[in-house]
Structure 1
């Protein structure tokens, strides 16, 4: 196994890596740096586009545009022209909230969660939303401090999500109806309070195992569908945020990370990494269907 730093310029808050099968490139974001990035592994070039506000998560589209979940709602962005077209803002009444983590289900619906910026309030103010192909937006589940961990099993019938808040540190699993887009039977998948890191971004591999970026613990953790720890990979920084499977064989693990100030030196924090030789492959994350 090899872990390589592939983008040395640290992001303030690297997140939401998404592999474009059509382009064979990796899209990712710098939330606090307000930028969309695209890394080309064939050239080693990383390009970026500034955003007008924090950009939490993204999804590819079939027409080479990107679907963005920004601080102020959803938007389409065309990297070829730089045009950004706003769509809708489901939390226009909550100016202190922004979108955080997101992914698509097997039908191409976009799931994305919100969170309060800055210090937590007196109660959890985040929620998970589902954006359909016709741009119908549905508030699905409330009561989260820091929405994270969204991922779907390879058959599309299990939905995972988490709350990274230090008081919660929990990953949940749901039964999921891919046709209706509705989760049910919520249960605790993993309680991470005995682990080194809190649950940040999630992803599922081709074996149906769930991968958690253990932020603060410097590790990626693979869980079986039953919630048992199957494998732990120590990474070169304490703050991994999310992974995506990429490469032609979907056998490269790309990992984003957070640059934190005011703590012990962590010189590689915020960089983008590629992990090869794990013997694990991923599944394609569908483009947004809209």
Structure 2
């Protein structure tokens, strides 16, 4: 089943260089996302059409909501707390301070309120990075290595499985996940992509436990069954570099999709004028899960 691009709407046409990491805030009914290279955090209120931006002064790979207010972020130099109004950063931990060639990339909170995020090297070298978990008390644990480009994360509705994307592997791996301890084990490949699909990037999961994967260079988001590996649904976009997606709206039935324009040539940008925009597919026919928040 495919969704034609005409049903999509570019709700914020601000051209992010590398739009990423959409997060739905049910408390304020707003969507947050980042421009990774620009170090900006964007916020959009669908009810009013209001769009605002704050800068954190360094690259930002991902943000998540804090139950106590504000944001936790995977930043260029490590984990930090961010003032949502001003962008002021309070650094918490820098687990790769000895690896100046690396930066943090995608991240998300688990059902118990831990913040997970992984790294990648600026030069995109293989096997130079890791996946980390930030506990509520500020402790950081390395959970998985080696990694080349840590990307999409999603937890199953029953909280027993972590799905994970290391982009150059062209696969989704499932780990058995222990919510009480935050440990993962027994990785197995559950979805295998090919180079023709594009690079698997960000990811979310719906209430039925199906995975939604954004494809860099693939012009689309695909809905997959992680139990069979089958492609169930495809949403085509008018931009090639599709980066991530999440469900939002009052009933979590609107699918928000981020995109990028970095690396595109002038001729490519002329054919993709909305590259870097934030898209939405309203009332998409599926429902998401509530956003997990950081417990610290």
TM range (shorter): over 0.9
1:274 maps to 2:276: no
How far apart, in 1, do the equivalents of 2:52 and 2:247 lie? 20
Q: By how many angstroms is 1:63 displaced?
A: 2.7
TM-superposition CA deviations, 1:182-211 (whole Å, max 9, x none): 111101111211542211001000000011
Q: Secondary structure at the match of 1:202?
A: strand
Is 2:152 the counterpart of 1:149? yes
State the distance in 2 between where 1:194 and 1:181 align: 32
- Report matched runs for 1:63-212 at 5 Å: 63-117=68-122, 119-121=123-125, 123-165=126-168, 168-193=169-194, 195-212=196-213
Match of 1:233 among 232, 235, 246: 235
Normalising by structure 2, we get a TM-score of: 0.93
Where in structure 2 are there 5+ consecutive unaligned residues? none
User: Which residue is equivalent to 1:250?
Assistant: 252
CA deviations 1:150-207 (Å, max 9, x no partner) are 1111111110111222xx2121111111111111110111121154221100100000
Deviations 1:210-245 (A, max 9, x none): 110011110111111312111111112111100011
Which residue of the other structure, out of 26, 30, 37, is the alignment partner of 1:32? 37
Instruction: Render the CA deviation track for 1:68-113: whole Å, top value 9, x for unaligned.
Output: 1101111111123543211111100011211111111110111101
The SS at the match of 1:264 is helix
Structure (1 or 2) with the greater helix fraction:
2
Q: Number of aligned residue pairs: give it.
A: 286
